[in-house]
Structure 1
């Protein structure tokens, strides 16, 4: 029997919700504890339909309504990334058949009196209320937090023990907002044993889940908080009394937080000698100082697209031995292998995380390649696809067999119904691709499985780090715990997140990810040449320098998903200019996609190439089989890399834009105030008498000493390497070169000591 909803969102009940609901694109969600109600994720929860200005209506089948499940109403507007939750009410679905029409108001008096909320739960039902422990006391907690930080979400108390969710934010105890304003007040009354550790967490807001990460754990103590002006302040950085914390054991009995930030009490050296939580703050120097080389193995080794999982293993990986000396000659310090695990087709639909794809070889052959590369001082990073799996993954296969009653149902986001592929349930997948079921990272079993996989390849096989596929689609708190698990396996490991959208600072920070892919700069490296518009590249450089100061991001011109650089360039003589901008000009960790170092061509599928991006994932010629033109371009890139390696200003220096026009640009790299490098570009097809016209004013606040004389160490013009020596000086912040600039040229000058 369906359950009908009639919900009024009015200014009397919640002015904020009424205003949000009136906006274009807003919907009203019934969001709750069961998977069918979204497991407290509004984006996955059922939606009601607006029937009048303030009334929203809809019906849910009894199986979806989940009798006894807790729920709230949420105004959701994805176009604005806006969430407005009920803050006063937490409802309970009626028992089966006892009530078929629910008439309520959003956070208003006509809603049933809310029971004490037990917080959002990722499982079908909230756990039974824990019995009061011996010595427990009742204590009111009150918190002051900026409205902007809450950003439409709500606050929970997360900590030790089942009452506070055992450090799982999905089972934490919800607070109530008791006072609105620029600074909100949230309160709750708890009965706990003194000494229990906890933190406040903001969930469901526009900024995602936000822990207190500037302070150690709070300690539950007897005494009044919330009366006579005594309040906790969110993330106030205050110290807390440390107590002995027992380390986690293999059976999963934990007293330390599993999703809390690295600055929690587990990181405090206690008087009892409890070990400090390990935190990797700095990007390892081997990653920061290296040039990376990306290989898409299934294409590189010419594997067929489909894997039937029955054919004999083919040891194609072993042939990578022929490329080791080539990579050393080029100047590569890290090889990044895209997926190598057993998969159904393209590698991103993983079926077995402990086996190398049979089309590539076995675990032993891969281990040999790792040792071979590391023996040549080349590190190895693997692509970890932990956001989703393939349909042949064992846990999803069990779900297909047993439906919603599968023991692995909680590993995915399953819902009643039938998928378009005829499966006995509906489910979430990556960007709607049903062959890529999305994993539920709030499941302890999923987290443990992924962490075990990560540690295995780091400790048993000896890889140096992980590239984390679509890292921006998984909460930072998951990566924080992932970081700690990896750090326990290898102290100098590196975690690189694939980051495309949003603010990279949410992910690249101490204890979470070391670095990320800088998609926000990549396009400008080549389109500024095609469009004769260095203003685009300068804007991107300055924007990233402002937003991501202190970060070292992975910079690239191409990868396995986009049209290759040489195919994109309208003027082929701009090849060396694009490579010099990447390798010498913009800083960060440069990464070459295999074949781009000599001008391999290919278009991605959406730009006219073959299906499955096969044209940008082709087999490369062997190192000794490059044609003359390709070898010439290879030598040019190898020379740029040798120059980079020879000067700290080019490999480690900060980047400053001295000035630019549409077709000229001057970058200055500075290292520790002692060495300066000038990287000067002219993308015009004509020579210029001056580096920058007189009307162009220096852009950077950097003041390079004008007594310095710069010696040219590298120059390419129209694809040819120029060997003649040349000097440059500075006047009023602009480089002065007697010969001017050649057409389609890049010149590198180093300050003389």
Structure 2
């Protein structure tokens, strides 16, 4: 029913930062295809007060991005190129000017509207209210009917799993091809997947372990996270990433730029559905800060055309192409279980397998060469380099 999920690799774009609205984004689809992806993951595109996560109307395209005709043109262009489209569903909270009956909102003991994590501009919806459930179902079904095929559910962790289960069960009755991933930052991923009925969660544990293990020279942390990821794969397909709209860019997060390839090699050779945050494929820098406007640096504008991209980013673009091609040759990796073997603090052989299929990724962040034994043969990986055995 949803075989496309096993093959999708997302290019994740934050449209309100990208610049130029939906029309400019449409002009970058050939670039995305050249990169090797076959899915467009969009940040918020619906009418909102400021940054998109303070929605005012889930049925209307944000006027800063365009209108319905622009959205339809984007969908048509994606379908022409074989690109799936994922939308960002912000259903935990809305902007203060969102128009709805008062019983749609969660209230504090004092009778005031509850706000999301201290953000006064974001008021929380009441997920015990059947009318809210009906509304969310209508929104998701509407845009799936307009050509989207997947939803990222923002702050899924803040909504009762039973609410998601009821919502997606109803949506799937008419849209069996749809795929749903929930934003979960920490906690029991497996239990949440099983109770919510979602297909996927955002794999923040693995994200953290990738850059942290590389920075600290501690592959034991990565080994632990991969063991946890194997457990998640028993319940669903995690959305894997090394960057997104809410975190410092991987090129800025790594303390040694020589280890960018290591991070990407892990991303593309372990189980899950990979997502590439726009600009990461060009080595964009950007540090998230805990302040008003602190996300701006990681949600930048893209230029008018590819000719305006800096020359220093293209080697990273080509590295992405190379690793995506590995993924294409081994599509079974989406469900692979990965174990860490020949493990030391600074070197590891990651063995990814599914049935009779097997791939070995060799990582070395030490200063000295590291010798690995793979299928009886010795492979030497120089200091601060990586290899995929047999590729």
Q: Please give the TM-score of this superposition, normalised by the length of structure 1.
A: 0.50
Paired residues of 2:180 and 2:199 also in contact (CA < 8 A): yes
Paired residues of 2:233 and 2:335 also in contact (CA < 8 A): no
Paired residues of 1:552 and 1:589 also in contact (CA < 8 A): yes
Distance 1:373 1:594, change over 3 A: same
Partner of 1:602: 286
Structure 1, unaligned runs of 5 or more: 1-281, 303-315, 396-407, 418-424, 692-727
Paired residues of 1:648 and 1:671 also in contact (CA < 8 A): no
Paired residues of 2:45 and 2:52 also in contact (CA < 8 A): yes
Matches of 2:273 and 2:93, distance apart in 1: 27
Matches of 2:195 and 2:80, distance apart in 1: 30
- Please state how far the C-alpha of 1:676 moved relative to its aligned partner: 2.1
Deviations 1:430-461, CA, capped at 9 Å, x for gaps: 112221111111112222122111111111x1
- Please state how far the C-alpha of 1:730 moved relative to its aligned partner: 2.6
Distance 1:301 1:489, change over 3 A: farther
Partner of 2:227: 542
Partner of 1:748: 388
- Please state how far the C-alpha of 1:291 moved relative to its aligned partner: 1.3
Partner of 1:413: 106
Distance 1:346 1:504, change over 3 A: same
Partner of 1:521: 206
Partner of 1:618: 300
- Please state how far the C-alpha of 1:658 moved relative to its aligned partner: 2.0
Partner of 2:57: 352
Question: Which of residues 141, 147, 154 in structure 2 aligns to 1:469?
Answer: 154
Partner of 2:5: 287
Paired residues of 1:340 and 1:360 also in contact (CA < 8 A): yes
Matches of 2:196 and 2:288, distance apart in 1: 36
Paired residues of 2:6 and 2:331 also in contact (CA < 8 A): no
Distance 1:327 1:552, change over 3 A: same
Partner of 1:87: none
Deviations 1:277-304, CA, capped at 9 Å, x for gaps: xxxxx8x3212321112111111116xx
Please report the RMSD computed on the Cα atoms of aligned residues, expressed in angstroms: 2.0
- Please state how far the C-alpha of 1:538 moved relative to its aligned partner: 0.8
Distance 1:630 1:415, change over 3 A: closer
Partner of 2:144: 458
- Please state how far the C-alpha of 1:505 moved relative to its aligned partner: 2.4
Structure 2, unaligned runs of 5 or more: none
Paired residues of 1:496 and 1:516 also in contact (CA < 8 A): yes
Partner of 1:382: 87
- Please state how far the C-alpha of 1:510 moved relative to its aligned partner: 8.1
- Please state how far the C-alpha of 1:626 moved relative to its aligned partner: 2.4
Matches of 1:455 and 1:435, distance apart in 2: 27
Partner of 1:635: 318
Matches of 1:334 and 1:357, distance apart in 2: 21
Matches of 1:371 and 1:510, distance apart in 2: 35
- Please state how far the C-alpha of 1:550 moved relative to its aligned partner: 4.5
Partner of 2:367: 685
Question: SS of the counterpart of 1:601?
Answer: coil
Question: Which of residues 297, 320, 327 in structure 2 aligns to 1:644?
Answer: 327
Paired residues of 1:458 and 1:489 also in contact (CA < 8 A): no
Paired residues of 2:190 and 2:235 also in contact (CA < 8 A): no
Distance 1:511 1:489, change over 3 A: farther
Question: SS of the counterpart of 1:581?
Answer: helix
Paired residues of 2:233 and 2:272 also in contact (CA < 8 A): no
Matches of 2:234 and 2:342, distance apart in 1: 20
Paired residues of 1:287 and 1:334 also in contact (CA < 8 A): no
Paired residues of 2:190 and 2:231 also in contact (CA < 8 A): no
Question: SS of the counterpart of 2:126?
Answer: coil
Structure showing greater relative contact order (alpha-carbon pairs closer than 8 Å, 6 or more residues apart): 2
